[in-house]
Amino acid sequence: MTVFTVFFIIFLLTLMVITALAIVQTKNLFAAAMLSGIFSLMSAMIFFLLDAADVALTEAAVGAGISTVLFLGALALTAENERAGTAGRAAALAVVTVITAVLVYATFDMPRLGDPNAPAQLHVAPWYLEKTPEYIDVPNVVTAVLASFRGYDTLGETFVVFTAGIGVLFLLGKAPVGQPKVSPAMTFAGKTGLRHYQIPRVVGRLLIPFILLFALYVQFHGDYSPGGGFQAGVIVAASVVLYALLEGEEQARQALPAWLLRLMAATGPLIYGFTGVACMLLGGNFLDYSVLAHDPVHGQHYGILVIEAGVGVTVTGVLISIFHSFAARGAK
Q: How many chain residues touch other proteins (CB under 8 A)?
A: 149
CB of 31 to other proteins, least distance (A): 11
SS3 call for 108: coil
Residue 206 interacting with other proteins (CB under 8 A): no
Instruction: Show contacts with other proteins in window 55-94 (CB under 8 A).
Output: 55, 58-59, 62-63, 66-67, 70-71, 73-75, 77-79, 82-89, 91-93
* CB of 264 closer than 8 Å to CB of 236: no
How far is residue 128 from each of residues 148, 154, 301, measured CA to CA in Å?
11, 17, 16
Sign of the Cα pseudo-torsion (160, 68, 37, 41, in order)? positive
Residue 302 interacting with other proteins (CB under 8 A): no
SS3 call for 80: coil
CB of 244 to other proteins, least distance (A): 17
Give me the phi and psi of 221, to 5 degrees please: -105, 10
In the chain, the amino acid numbered 231 is Q
Residue 244 interacting with other proteins (CB under 8 A): no
Give me the phi and psi of 28, to 5 degrees please: -85, 115
Residue 217 interacting with other proteins (CB under 8 A): no
Q: Considering only residues 190, 193, 204, 226, which one is a binding residue for other proteins as defined by CB under 8 A? A: 226
Instruction: Show contacts with other proteins in window 93-132 (CB under 8 A).
Output: 93, 95-96, 99-100, 102-116, 118-125, 127-129, 131-132
Total residues found in the chain within this entry: 332
Side-chain-side CA neighbours of 62 within 13 Å: the count stands at 17
User: What is Dmax (Cα atoms) for the chain?
Assistant: 65
In degrees to the nearest 10, what's the CA dihedral of 82, 84, 88, 90? 70
Binding mask 37-56 for other proteins (x = CB under 8 A): --xx--x--xx--xxxxxx-
Residue 174 interacting with other proteins (CB under 8 A): yes
CB of 232 to other proteins, least distance (A): 13
CB of 33 to other proteins, least distance (A): 7
Q: Considering only residues 178, 196, 199, 206, which one is a binding residue for other proteins as defined by CB under 8 A? A: 178
Residue 133 interacting with other proteins (CB under 8 A): yes
Nearer to other proteins, 27 or 191 (CB): 27
* CB of 16 closer than 8 Å to CB of 39: yes
Q: Considering only residues 190, 204, 284, 312, which one is a binding residue for other proteins as defined by CB under 8 A? A: 284
Nearer to other proteins, 46 or 241 (CB): 46
CB of 218 to other proteins, least distance (A): 13
In the chain, the amino acid numbered 150 is R
* CB of 11 closer than 8 Å to CB of 35: no
**Residue 81 DSSP symbol:** B
